[in-house]
Amino acid sequence: MHRDGAPSVSLPSVTDPPTIRTVPALEAPLASGLRSRFAWALLGLAGWRVVLAQPVPPKCVIVFYPHTSNWDFPIGLCAKWIVGIDFRWVGKDSLFATPLAGAFRRWGGIPVNRRESTGFVGQMRAALDAHDDFRLVITPEGTRSRVAHWKSGFWHLAREARVPIGLGFIDYARREVGIGAWIEATSVAAADLERMAAFYADRTARRPEQAGPVRLKK
């Protein structure tokens, strides 16, 4: 049992490559409705498939990597509509100062000021504690440009809230997008990142030269 009383979920482990490699792409939308069917048809026409390691925990932190292109967002949004799960996602606050701000919020967007320390981890920890269903997607690079390391907020958040980490990805070589595995944060961040690096090793960004290494700042 998790600390909040939610039942534990059996999670595929990144230490078992066969389990990770064989997560099948969806054969049909999981959600019903016109939006889901439209998203399914749109991605299908573009040659994309959606992958989802199941079951999806009711509370979790999902990293999305690699993130190097504006195209990542509409592809990921279509995947969200196809699976029909209310994933929340973190975006830079400037996105929410545009005419699309209302749509972004309806689609699960949460603005964050990446230029300053705003207590984001504490705020999201409170949200996880307050909700029975809260699945948060974070881009650990924090930008589409190449960076030397990931931001550590997602790891601290998952560990403090005692929720699983989902390994979300977009792979332009295989034309796949989704969540490939779930892991539990341990007490050793470096070891967790090593496991993540093994999972992401063969995932190809739209701009591979912009994808930074899977590691935290030393």
| 208 domain-assigned | no
- Domain count for the chain, please give it: 1
CATH at residue 96: 3.40.50
| Other residues' Cβ atoms within 10 Å of the Cβ of residue 114 | 16
The pLDDT value recorded for residue 19 is: 41
Query: Per residue of the chain (218 residues), what is the pLDDT tens digit?
Result: 444 444 444 454 444 433 445 688 999 999 999 999 999 999 999 999 999 999 999 999 999 999 999 999 999 999 999 999 999 988 887 778 888 888 989 998 888 876 666 688 888 999 999 999 999 999 999 888 899 899 999 999 999 999 999 999 999 999 999 999 999 999 999 999 999 999 999 999 999 999 999 999 87
User: What is the domain extent for residue 89?
Assistant: 17-201
Nearest CA to 76 among 53, 43, 47, 100?
A: 43
The pLDDT value recorded for residue 22 is: 61
Q: What is the pTM of this model?
A: 0.85
Distance CA 197, CA 118 (A): 28
Beta bridge partners of 127: none
| 69 domain-assigned | yes
Distance CA 21, CA 17 (A): 6
User: In this structure, what token pair is assigned to residue 165?
Assistant: 């980490």
| 25 domain-assigned | yes
Beta bridge partners of 198: none
| 3 domain-assigned | no
The pLDDT value recorded for residue 179 is: 97
Rg (the chain; Cα; Å)? 16
| 10 domain-assigned | no
| 169 domain-assigned | yes
The pLDDT value recorded for residue 50 is: 98
| Other residues' Cβ atoms within 10 Å of the Cβ of residue 104 | 18
| 214 domain-assigned | no
Rounded to the nearest 5°, which phi and psi values hold at 138? -130, 135
| 68 domain-assigned | yes
